[in-house]
Chains A and B, each alone.
Chain A
Amino acid sequence: MNEEISPTQNRRDFLKTTAVVAGMTVAPGVLLYGVSRAHHADGAVTSDVRWGMLIDTTKCSEGCDKCVSACATEHGLTEDVRPDIAAQWIRKVGVRDKQTGKEYSLPLLCQHCEHPPCVDVCPTGASFKRADGIVLVDKHICIGCRYCMMACPYKARSFIHETLENQKPYSPRGKGTVESCTLCVHRVDNEQQPACVEACNKVGHKAMLFGDLKDPNSDISKKLKEVRSTALRPDLRLNPGVRYQGL
């Protein structure tokens, strides 16, 4: 009997010690991995992060459109042939409370929903959500049907009607496809902030806060815990990555 029990105890001890050793050896690895958890070892993005934005409407100035112009410069959104149909990835929207007459001004961009209706309706799979929550259009697959434009409750998407020239290397755009805010994915992948957020901070308004919603220690998560914020059209339950404060 003793002979039968002792191997079991040994196995238990063995498991205990291996667990301790494994824990010790894994710990530094985990710490190292934690620093760059936004990316897999091969450079692919992971769902360990979810990029989001908090827009403080009380800080957003009515006459200012620095975020809009920064976006246009960053992505080359100028339309020479027909300026009235130029793409709008971000625009300033004025809201007025009918009861009190109080007016707000806020930037409206792709809300990068957790359950994006544009992705639901896309017939080709061109509209998709990246692992880190950024909603994009793969223009290689987009057939320009504009179904996503109809599905989006925020009117965040634009269709390109004219032939474009001199596109930016990091922001390819072309006729016959639908496009919208990419949350400056080329910058985010290089650990930079989106152009609009940078521009807003530069003018000193600091109305836009960008960061990882899944990281409890990020500035945006801390602030979201602190202040009362809301999603636009929360009744649709799309859980947008962009939230608004002071509405």
Chain B
Amino acid sequence: MKVHVKLSTLGKLCLGLMLSLAVSADEPQTDARTFIPNPPKAKENFSPTQKCIEPVDIMRSNHGEFLKHHRDDTMHRGVRTIKYSLVACINCHVTKSADGNYPSIKKGSEHFCRSCHTYAAVSIDCFQCHASKPIEPFSR
């Protein structure tokens, strides 16, 4: 009885090993399929010494907070400064793709916001209402 149990466990172990080997054999393929975010470059630098309105690592982790804070300031208090404004972000960061059109926010990964958000699996609802591309001529 004891031997039988041991044999079955051994069988399971073997199966597990084989499976893991199979997975590792597949790994290069998975890598090729894995989407790595490659957001397009912005139109211009904020200043000669600084790329964006804040250092890039701070922007990467805190841009949501900045936008949310600014949206309340704009909506309720009428503060219309360019810094942290979603419209300003879009104007600078959303660039035309190779075919001369602005990339879609709904499909693909070419749109600046979408490239990372698809990778991080974080849905963005901003563009259900807000414009996802710069519109020219801009009324203001």
Q: Are B76 and A139 in contact (CB under 8 A)?
A: no
* B21 CB, nearest partner CB in chain A, Å: 48
**Digit string of A123-141 for contact with B (CB within 8 Å is 1, else 0)?**
0000010111000101110
Q: What A residues does B79 contact at CB under 8 A?
A: 42-44
> Is A37 located at the chain interface by the 8 A CB criterion?
no
CB-based closest 5 A-B pairs: A174-B129, A45-B78, A44-B77, A172-B129, A169-B131
Q: Are B78 and A172 in contact (CB under 8 A)?
A: no
Q: What A residues does B140 contact at CB under 8 A?
A: 170, 186-187, 190
Q: What A residues does B128 contact at CB under 8 A?
A: 163, 174-175
**Digit string of A141-177 for contact with B (CB within 8 Å is 1, else 0)?**
0000000000000000000000110111110111101
Select one of A138, A168, A189 contacting B139, CB under 8 A: A168
Select from chain A the residue with minimum beta-carbon distance to B139.
A170
Residues of B within 8 A of A (CB): 71-73, 75-81, 87, 90-91, 128-131, 134-135, 138-140
Where chain A touches its partner, the secondary structure class is loop
Residues of A within 8 A of B (CB): 39, 42-45, 74, 128, 130-132, 136, 138-140, 163-164, 166-170, 172-175, 177, 185-187, 189-190
Select from chain A the residue with minimum beta-carbon distance to B80.
A189
17 further contact pairs, Cβ within 8 A, besides A43-B81, A131-B77, A166-B131: A39-B78, A42-B79, A43-B78, A43-B80, A45-B77, A45-B78, A74-B139, A138-B75, A163-B128, A167-B129, A169-B135, A172-B129, A172-B130, A172-B131, A173-B129, A185-B78, A187-B140
Docked CA distance A45–B134 (Å):
26
Docked CA distance A188–B119 (Å):
40
Docked CA distance A173–B130 (Å):
7
Q: What B residues does A130 contact at CB under 8 A?
A: 76-78
Q: Are B77 and A140 in contact (CB under 8 A)?
A: no
Docked CA distance A43–B73 (Å):
9
Q: What A residues does B76 contact at CB under 8 A?
A: 128, 130, 138
Q: What A residues does B131 contact at CB under 8 A?
A: 166-169, 172
Select from chain B the residue with minimum beta-carbon distance to A175.
B128
Q: What B residues does A163 contact at CB under 8 A?
A: 128
Q: What A residues does B73 contact at CB under 8 A?
A: 44
Q: Are B87 and A169 in contact (CB under 8 A)?
A: yes
